[in-house]
C-alpha cells in the first residue's frame, strides 16, 4: 500500500512540476504579448503626433507649400505681421521636411511590427499540453482515491486510532515547542552571561592598564630624579683624582731632590786679601747691582771704565 501510494505521489509531483513549468512559460508569453501591445500603442501614438505636427505626408507637398509662400511674398503686398508669419511658416516647413522620411520609416516599422499574434499559437499549444497533464493528474488522483478506499476496506474503521495519533502528534508538537522555548531562554541567558564576563574582562583590563600607566609614570619620575642627581656629580672624578695623585707624586720626587741638594750645600769660607771681592752667584744676585744702571749701553761702557779705573782684582 505505502509503496503504491509513494509511486502515485511521485507521479502527481512530476505532473505538477511539468504543469508549473508550462504555467511559467505561459506567463512569460502573456507578459511579452502585453509588452508588444504596449510598444505598438506607443509607436502608433508617436506616429500620429508626428503627422499632426508636420501636417504633410510627403516632401513634395512641403516643397510646393514653400514655393507658394515664396511666390506670395514676391507678388503680393501684405502687412509686416503677415509677412513674418509666412517666413516663420517657411522655417517650420524646412525643419519638418526631414521628418517626413522618419514618418515613412515609422509607418513601415509599424506595418511590419508583430504585436504578439505569433505567440498566440505558442500559448494555444501550451494550453493543450496543460490540459493533457491535467487529465493525467486527474487519473492519478482517481487511482490514489481508489487505493485509499481499498486500504480502508482491508483495515476497517481507523477513526479512533487516527484521533489518538492526532492527539499524540499535538502533544509531541507542544513538547517540541516547550523544548525550543527552553533552549531559546538558555541561549539568551548564556549570551547575557557571556556579555557579563566580557564586561568584567574589559574592566579588569582597563584597571590593569591604569596600574601599568601609574607604574610607568613612577618609573619615569625616578629616572628623571636620577638624571637630575647625576647633574650634581662632578664629571671625570676618577680621572681628576688620578691626575692629582700623579702631580702630587711628581712634586714629592722633585722636592726630595731639592732637599738633597740643599743638604749637600756647604758654606764656603773665602780667604780673600785686602782689596779683593767675591763675585756673587747669578742665582743670588737677582736684585743686587754694583750700581743702579740708567741706560743699557752707556752704563755698560761706564761700568767697564769704572772697573778699569778701580784697579781692584776680582777673585773667583
Give pLDDT tens digits for 114-125: 655 566 777 778
Q: How sure is the predictor about 261, in pLDDT bands with cuts at 50, 70 and 90?
A: low
Across 165-180, average pLDDT: 92
Across 254-259, average pLDDT: 62
Across 192-221, average pLDDT: 94
Q: What's residue 310's pLDDT? A: 45
Q: How sure is the predictor about 131, in pLDDT bands with cuts at 50, 70 and 90?
A: confident
Higher pLDDT, 60 or 294: 60
Q: What's residue 24's pLDDT? A: 86
C-alpha–C-alpha distance, residues 10 and 52, integer Å: 63
Grid coordinates belonging to 142: 482517481
Percent of the chain with pLDDT strictly greater than 90: 20
Q: Is 302's pLDDT higher than 50?
A: no
Burial 195-217 (b: 16+ CB within 10 A, else e): eeeeeeeeeeeeeeeeeeeeeee
Q: What's residue 300's pLDDT? A: 47
Higher pLDDT, 275 or 14: 14
Sequence-distant (≥ 6) Cβ neighbours of residue 134 within 8 angstroms: 19
Q: How sure is the predictor about 311, in pLDDT bands with cuts at 50, 70 and 90?
A: very low
Sequence-distant (≥ 6) Cβ neighbours of residue 151 within 8 angstroms: 1
CA atoms within 13 A on the CB side of 132: 8
Q: Is 137's pLDDT higher than 50?
A: yes
Least confident of 9-23, 80-94, 254-268, 288-302: 288-302
Q: What's residue 191's pLDDT? A: 95
Higher pLDDT, 111 or 31: 31
Q: Is 96's pLDDT higher than 60?
A: yes
Q: What is the Cα 147 distance to its own chain's centre?
A: 68
Q: Is 304's pLDDT higher than 50?
A: no
Q: How sure is the predictor about 142, in pLDDT bands with cuts at 50, 70 and 90?
A: confident
Q: Is 187's pLDDT higher than 80?
A: yes
Q: How sure is the predictor about 152, in pLDDT bands with cuts at 50, 70 and 90?
A: confident
On whether the CB atoms of residues 123 and 29 are closer than 8 A, the answer is: yes
Residue with the three cell numbers 557579563: 196
Amino acid at each position: 500500500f505505502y509503496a503504491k501510494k509513494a509511486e502515485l505521489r511521485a507521479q502527481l509531483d512530476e505532473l505538477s512540476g511539468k504543469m508549473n513549468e508550462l504555467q511559467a512559460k505561459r506567463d512569460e508569453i502573456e507578459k511579452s504579448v502585453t509588452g508588444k501591445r504596449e510598444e505598438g500603442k506607443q509607436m502608433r501614438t508617436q506616429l500620429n503626433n508626428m503627422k499632426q505636427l508636420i501636417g504633410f505626408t510627403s516632401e513634395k507637398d512641403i516643397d510646393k507649400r514653400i514655393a507658394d509662400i515664396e511666390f506670395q511674398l514676391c507678388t503680393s503686398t501684405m502687412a509686416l505681421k503677415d509677412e513674418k508669419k509666412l517666413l516663420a511658416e517657411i522655417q517650420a516647413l524646412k525643419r519638418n521636411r526631414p521628418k517626413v522620411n522618419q514618418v515613412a520609416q515609422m509607418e513601415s516599422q509599424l506595418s511590419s511590427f508583430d504585436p504578439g499574434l505569433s505567440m498566440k499559437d505558442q500559448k494555444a499549444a501550451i494550453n493543450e499540453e496543460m490540459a493533457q497533464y491535467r487529465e493525467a493528474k486527474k487519473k492519478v488522483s482517481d487511482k490514489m482515491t481508489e487505493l485509499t478506499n481499498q486500504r480502508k476496506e482491508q483495515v476497517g474503521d481507523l477513526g479512533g486510532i487516527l484521533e489518538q495519533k492526532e492527539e499524540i502528534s499535538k502533544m509531541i508538537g507542544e513538547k517540541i515547542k516547550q523544548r525550543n522555548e527552553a533552549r531559546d531562554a538558555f541561549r539568551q541567558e548564556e549570551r547575557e552571561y557571556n556579555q557579563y564576563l566580557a564586561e568584567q574582562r574589559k574592566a579588569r583590563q582597563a584597571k590593569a592598564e591604569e596600574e601599568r600607566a601609574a607604574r610607568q609614570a613612577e618609573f619615569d619620575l625616578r629616572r628623571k630624579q636620577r638624571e637630575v642627581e647625576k647633574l650634581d656629580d662632578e664629571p671625570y672624578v676618577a680621572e681628576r683624582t688620578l691626575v692629582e695623585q700623579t702631580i702630587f707624586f711628581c712634586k714629592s720626587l722633585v722636592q726630595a731632590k731639592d732637599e738633597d741638594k740643599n743638604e749637600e750645600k756647604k758654606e764656603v769660607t773665602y780667604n780673600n786679601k785686602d782689596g779683593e771681592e767675591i763675585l756673587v752667584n747669578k742665582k743670588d744676585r737677582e736684585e743686587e747691582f754694583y750700581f743702579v744702571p740708567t741706560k743699557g749701553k752707556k752704563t755698560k761702557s761706564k761700568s767697564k771704565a769704572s772697573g778699569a779705573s778701580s784697579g781692584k782684582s776680582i777673585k773667583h
